[in-house]
Amino acid sequence: ALLYSLPFYFLMGLDPQPERIAVWFAVLSLFSATSGALSMMGSMGCPTAGVANLVMTLVLLVSLVFGGFLANLEAMPDWISWISWFSIFRYAFEALVVNEVTGSSFNLDVSG
């Protein structure tokens, strides 16, 4: 996984500090392990591999939609926004964003 993901870190132009690279890799590794464990747990209750594939595809798709990357969590109605707390994508995305922008300062000059 390191050989696959490490080049993308630099290709995306992220902060090249070793601590941030280590956190980035740790978050991706934990996300991968969590999604694998979630898939195994979900497939244990299914009678066939086809049903397990369908169920886990739907579970991960809902998790992706409510992860905060594809849909704005603040714009969601209250009656459905609680699903985002169960999204593994939300926590991984938030950890990666916090890792990248912590300690950074942004100067915006809006003229007009």
State the pLDDT at residue 3: 81
**Is residue 80 very low, low, confident or very high in pLDDT (cuts 50, 70, 90)?**
confident
Give the ranges where 67-111 is alpha helix by DSSP (H).
78-81, 88-101
Q: Where are the domains of the chain?
A: 2-100
The better pLDDT of the pair 104, 25 is held by: 25
pTM assigned to the model: 0.82
State the pLDDT at residue 37: 94
- The rounded distance, in Å, linking the Cα atoms of 68 and 50 is 29
DSSP state at residue 56: H
